[in-house]
Amino acid sequence: MRRYWLVFSQAVTILLAAYFVVVTMKPEWLNRRPVMSASTGIALQEAPTPPSAPAPPGSFRSAAQKASQAVVSINTSKAADRPSSSDPWFRFFFGDQGAVPQSGLGSGVIISTDGFILTNNHVVEGATEIEVALNDSRKTRAKIIGTDPETDLAILKVNLDRLPAMTLGNSDALQVGDQVLAIGNPFGVGLTVTSGIVSALGRNQLGINTFENFIQTDAAINPGNSGGALVDVNGNLMGINTAIYSRSGGSMGIGFAIPVSTAKLVLEGIVKDGVVTRGWIGVEPADLSVELMETFGVKAKKGVLITGVLQNGPAALAGVKPGDVVVQVGGKDVANVSELLSTVAALKPGTATQFKLQRRDDGVEVTVTPGKRPKPKQQAPQVVPGLPGR
């Protein structure tokens, strides 16, 4: 009996030693368990679930997780009249054609725990109902607080608690080559994150908005991404994705986002005053060209040519004349019409500002007190080479 007990104790000792070696050298062996395939009945080995580990080098996991919580999907509906006719033959073949609702799709960014959401104006323009879907599966109706068609931005408001809000970054610090992520709901497939770099800054004269200062990126942006977030590698908001250049309707590596610096001005104006207030001086500007330079006798090599001045407008009262070339506004150089419009729009109405002009061979400085920019007239939508991704 004693001999059997000795054999048993030695066997247990050996098994414990083997277990200790496995635990020390190959702990993953102990985490594998057979899984029976439902279709074949074969016992398979399932890889162990790894513990939560830090992101590998080069991963954007943290930025994507941080920013995605504050990106929402926006679904809109709009009643549209379908053509109808009193012709009995038309009604016989086609029946009564009534109003048929249209749906739209876009994205948005929660920028305040109070429920304010930034998106594009073209996403919600004309919508009769707006539904916002959060990343945590909650859905709610939203109302429009205000819109700014000239920058294609809109502010929505939802009433929900425990809202995640995205941190606003400094888009003025972006440089070409910086890595960025585009987050939105392309084609309605669900929240999607794509990566790329900043391809260019200050893109304008695209014919998309009145005031253009776009961030260009090669991060994939598709229809449905409009109003979504362009973020840096820290998950901070850098811009609102607005449009793409496309010949196929899909991403071709050229996307445009409105800088968050512009969005802040629009947000503050709409929330505080209900409208965005911009400066205005009452001139008709044009980019310098050989023909115009010959016509007006311009000697300047850079700047923006003034081809017309509104009588009794702020510029006329300050002494600006047709043929003058605006070189600087408030100490800031202006090289084209888009830069002049944006710079003047940023001026505070009623506050005098120095303008540096080139008048034939002479340099002239005038003090202009800008007025309040009139509301833009409603225009029919135009087809542009960029496809605003609805």
Just list the catalytic residues.
122, 152, 226
Phi, then psi, of 123 in degrees rounded to 5: -75, -35
> What's the rounded Cα separation, in Å, for the pair 161 and 16?
55
Q: Mapping DSSP to helix (H, G, I), strand (E, B) and coil, where does residue 364 land?
A: strand
The answer to whether 203 and 218 are in contact (CB under 8 A) is: no
DSSP secondary structure of 203-248: E--SSS-SS--EEEE-S---TT-TT-EEE-TTS-EEEEEEEEE-SS
The closest alpha carbon to 127, from 75, 81, 77, belongs to: 77
**Tokens at 64, concatenated:** 């994507």
**Tokens at 268, concatenated:** 């503050």
Question: 217 has which bridge partners?
Answer: 198, 255
**Tokens at 42, concatenated:** 């074969």
User: What residue has token string 């002494």?
Assistant: 319
Phi, then psi, of 60 in degrees rounded to 5: -105, 25
The answer to whether 241 and 122 are in contact (CB under 8 A) is: no
> What's the rounded Cα separation, in Å, for the pair 354 and 386?
36
For the chain, how far is it from start to end, CA to CA, in angstroms? Answer: 85
**Tokens at 90, concatenated:** 């038309």
The closest alpha carbon to 124, from 73, 167, 69, 166, belongs to: 73
**Tokens at 329, concatenated:** 């506004």
> What's the rounded Cα separation, in Å, for the pair 108 and 378?
24
Dihedral angle, C-alpha 149, 118, 248, 253, nearest 10 °: 110
The answer to whether 369 and 282 are in contact (CB under 8 A) is: no
Rg (CA), the chain: 30
